[in-house]
Amino acid sequence: MSGANAVCGGPKKIKRAVCGAINRCTNHASPKYADYGGRGITVHAAWVADRGAFFAYIAALPGAGEPGLSLDRIDNDQGYEPGNLRWTTASEQRRNARRGPRPNRRRKMLEKAPVGSRFGRLSVVSHEHRPYTTPGGYTRMVAYAVVRCDCGIECARRIADLASGHSTRCEQCARRRSA
């Protein structure tokens, strides 16, 4: 290896990408946690358990560790997981950066919880976008569904939480259930 590659490329850079990703997504003390772990960006569980497997995967991607390229998530709302990673230039990554929900992403999200669909005790009544603040303090607009619980109470749920099976009842029914 020679030239720039010896200085800023190669395995060291790949190792930094692995550790940086895991740190941003799992370490609450990381200054970048709010934008990653805090907004639900995760690292594939098998890679957290075995950093060597993470390293091997990204080392095998085109352009791995080359100067001027850095590890990038293809879908910015998905995590560091197989199929969602590539090595790109900073300008390509800026183009892919978060700008709030883009129209096709917004539509895709709404299609996960169409009006009338049911999630546990909740029926979707309508849709709206609301600001959502992550535990890390980062606020962005996310898709919510206004839902009616079987008990009659109306409330709002993040569509992501409905789709993932996280939200299946209103607060009151949840309390009653755990009581």
138-167: which residues touch Zn ion (CB under 5 A)? 149, 151, 153
122 binding Zn ion? (CB under 5 A):
no
Q: Crossing angle, helix 51-59 and helix 11-26, to 10 degrees?
A: 130
Q: Cβ 17 to Zn ion, closest distance in Å? A: 45
Q: Cβ 148 to Zn ion, closest distance in Å? A: 9
| Alpha carbons 132 and 129: distance in angstroms, whole number | 9
173 binding Zn ion? (CB under 5 A):
yes
Three-state SS letters, 114-161: CCCCEECCEEEEEEEEEEEECCCCCEEEEEEEEEEECCCCEEEEEHHH
Q: Which is nearer to Zn ion, 92 or 171 (CB)?
A: 171
Q: Which is nearer to Zn ion, 127 or 148 (CB)?
A: 148
| Alpha carbons 148 and 90: distance in angstroms, whole number | 44
To 5 degrees, how large is the angle CA 127–CA 37–CA 60? 110
| Count of chain residues binding Zn ion (CB under 5 A) | 5
Q: Cβ 119 to Zn ion, closest distance in Å? A: 12
Q: Which is nearer to Zn ion, 96 or 123 (CB)?
A: 123
Q: Which two tokens stand for residue 99?
A: 């700008």
Q: Cβ 178 to Zn ion, closest distance in Å? A: 13
Residues lying near Zn ion in the complex (CB under 5 A):
149, 151, 153, 170, 173
